[in-house]
Structure 1
Amino acid sequence: MTEAAGRVRWTETVPRLTTHADVASARTARRATAVGRWCSRVPPMVWDALLPTLLLVNVVTTRAPRDMPVAMALTAALALPLVWRHRAPLTVFCAVAAAAFVQWLLDVPLPADIALLVALYTAAAHSGRRGTLLAGAVVEAGVLMACLRWAPAGAFPTPFVAVTAMVVAAAVLGVNVRTTRAYLAAVQERAARREREQEQRARLAVAEERTRITREMHDIVTHNLSVMVALTDAAVYTQHRSPDRTTAAMLQVSETGRQALTDMRRALGVLRTDEPDAERHPLPGIAHLEALADQMCAAGLATRLDVEGGHGHIPATAQLTVYRLVQEALTNALKHTPTGTRAQVRILCSAGTVTVDVTDNGPCPPTPAATRSGHGIAGMRERAATYGGTLRAGLLPGGGWGVRTRLVLGGGGAESA
Structure 2
Amino acid sequence: MRLTSDADRATARSARLLTAAGRRGSRLPPTVWDSLLPTLLLVNVVTTHPPQELPVAVALTAALALPLVWRRRAPLPVFGAVVAAAFVQWLMDVQLLADVALLVALYTAAAHTGRRGALLAAAVVEAGVLLACLRWAPDGAFPTPFVAVTAMTVAAAVLGVNVRTTRAYLAALEERAARLEHEREQQARLAVAEERTRITREMHDIVTHNLSVMVALTDAAVYAQHRSPEKTTAAMLQISETGRQALTDMRRSLGILRTDEPDAERHPLPGIAQLAALADQMGAAGLPTRLEVRGTHAHVPATAQLTVYRLVQEALTNTLKHTPTGTRATVRIGCSTGTVTVDVTDDGPRPPRPAAPPSGHGIPGMRERSAAYGGTLEAGPLPGGGWGVRTRLLLDSGGAASA
Q: TM-score, normalised by structure 2?
A: 0.90
Q: What is the rounded CA distance, in whole Å, between the counterparts of 1:39 and 1:95 in structure 2?
A: 25
Matched, 1:57 2:49: no
Matched, 1:244 2:230: yes
State the match for 2:342 in structure 1: 356
Task: After TM superposition, list the pairs within 5 Å mapping 1:163-202 onto structure 2.
Answer: 163-202=149-188
Structure 1 residue 326, shift from structure 2 partner: 0.5
Matched, 1:116 2:102: yes
State the match for 1:301 in structure 2: 287
8 Å contact kept, 1:52–1:80: yes
Q: What is the rounded CA distance, in whole Å, between the counterparts of 1:245 and 1:192 in structure 2?
A: 67
Q: Deviations over 1:263-294 (max 9, x none)?
A: 111111x2x48674654573111110000000
Q: In structure 2, the residue corresponding to 1:167 is in which secondary structure?
A: helix
Distance 1:370 1:247, change over 3 A: farther
8 Å contact kept, 1:147–1:159: yes
Matched, 1:266 2:266: no
Select the residue among 87, 107, 131 that pairs with 2:93.
Answer: 107
8 Å contact kept, 1:266–1:279: no
8 Å contact kept, 1:332–1:372: no
Q: In the alignment, residue 57 of structure 1 is paired with which amino acid?
A: V
Unaligned runs of 5+ in 1: 1-34
Q: In the alignment, residue 143 of structure 1 is paired with which amino acid?
A: V
Work out which structure has the larger RCO, using CA pairs closer than 8 Å and 6 or more positions apart in sequence: 2
Q: In structure 1, the residue corresponding to 2:51 is in which secondary structure?
A: coil
8 Å contact kept, 2:322–2:351: no
Q: In structure 1, the residue corresponding to 2:121 is in which secondary structure?
A: helix
Select the residue among 346, 354, 363 that pairs with 1:377.
Answer: 363
State the match for 1:320 in structure 2: 306
Q: What is the rounded CA distance, in whole Å, between the counterparts of 1:264 and 1:84 in structure 2?
A: 69
Select the residue among 125, 134, 156 that pairs with 2:111.
Answer: 125
State the match for 1:399 in structure 2: 385
Q: In structure 1, the residue corresponding to 2:50 is in which secondary structure?
A: coil
Select the residue among 200, 213, 220 that pairs with 1:214.
Answer: 200
Q: In the alignment, residue 117 of structure 1 is paired with which amino acid?
A: L
Select the residue among 262, 285, 294 that pairs with 2:271.
Answer: 285
Select the residue among 19, 34, 54 that pairs with 1:68.
Answer: 54
Q: Deviations over 1:45-75 (max 9, x none)?
A: 1111111111000000000111101100000
Q: What is the rounded CA distance, in whole Å, between the counterparts of 2:23 and 2:226 in structure 1?
A: 90
Select the residue among 76, 97, 121 that pairs with 1:135.
Answer: 121
Q: In structure 1, the residue corresponding to 2:183 is in which secondary structure?
A: helix
Structure 1 residue 123, shift from structure 2 partner: 0.8
Q: What is the rounded CA distance, in whole Å, between the counterparts of 2:184 and 2:281 in structure 1?
A: 44
8 Å contact kept, 1:361–1:400: yes
User: Which one is further off, 109-118 or 372-381?
Assistant: 372-381
State the match for 1:148 in structure 2: 134
Structure 1 residue 370, shift from structure 2 partner: 9.4
What is the total number of aligned residue pairs between the two structures?
A: 377
Q: What is the rounded CA distance, in whole Å, between the counterparts of 2:88 and 2:226 in structure 1?
A: 120
Q: In structure 2, the residue corresponding to 1:66 is in which secondary structure?
A: helix
Q: In the alignment, residue 83 of structure 1 is paired with which amino acid?
A: V
Q: What is the rounded CA distance, in whole Å, between the counterparts of 1:36 and 1:227 in structure 2?
A: 82
Matched, 1:42 2:28: yes
Structure 1 residue 188, shift from structure 2 partner: 1.1
Q: Deviations over 1:187-218 (max 9, x none)?
A: 11111111111111111111111111111011
Q: TM-score, normalised by structure 1?
A: 0.87
Q: What is the rounded CA distance, in whole Å, between the counterparts of 1:237 and 1:290 in structure 2?
A: 26
Q: What is the rounded CA distance, in whole Å, between the counterparts of 1:37 and 1:232 in structure 2?
A: 86
Q: What is the rounded CA distance, in whole Å, between the counterparts of 1:106 and 1:183 in structure 2?
A: 44
State the match for 2:315 in structure 1: 329
Structure 1 residue 40, shift from structure 2 partner: 3.6
Q: What is the rounded CA distance, in whole Å, between the counterparts of 2:250 and 2:126 in structure 1?
A: 81
Distance 1:386 1:149, change over 3 A: same
Structure 1 residue 243, shift from structure 2 partner: 1.1
Matched, 1:226 2:215: no
Q: What is the rounded CA distance, in whole Å, between the counterparts of 1:44 and 1:371 in structure 2?
A: 68
Q: What is the rounded CA distance, in whole Å, between the counterparts of 1:384 and 1:102 in structure 2?
A: 84
Q: In structure 1, the residue corresponding to 2:270 is in which secondary structure?
A: coil
8 Å contact kept, 1:79–1:112: yes
Matched, 1:254 2:240: yes
Distance 1:315 1:36, change over 3 A: farther
Q: What is the rounded CA distance, in whole Å, between the counterparts of 1:411 and 1:248 in structure 2?
A: 43
Structure 1 residue 367, shift from structure 2 partner: 4.8
Q: In the alignment, residue 244 of structure 1 is paired with which amino acid?
A: E
Q: What is the rounded CA distance, in whole Å, between the counterparts of 1:222 and 1:328 in structure 2?
A: 8
State the match for 2:7 in structure 1: none
8 Å contact kept, 2:217–2:284: yes
Unaligned runs of 5+ in 2: 1-20
Structure 1 residue 374, shift from structure 2 partner: 2.5
Structure 1 residue 365, shift from structure 2 partner: 2.9
Select the residue among 31, 53, 66 that pairs with 1:80.
Answer: 66
Q: In the alignment, residue 266 of structure 1 is paired with which amino acid?
A: R
Q: In the alignment, residue 339 of structure 1 is paired with which amino acid?
A: T
8 Å contact kept, 1:395–1:401: yes
Q: What is the rounded CA distance, in whole Å, between the counterparts of 1:279 and 1:234 in structure 2?
A: 28
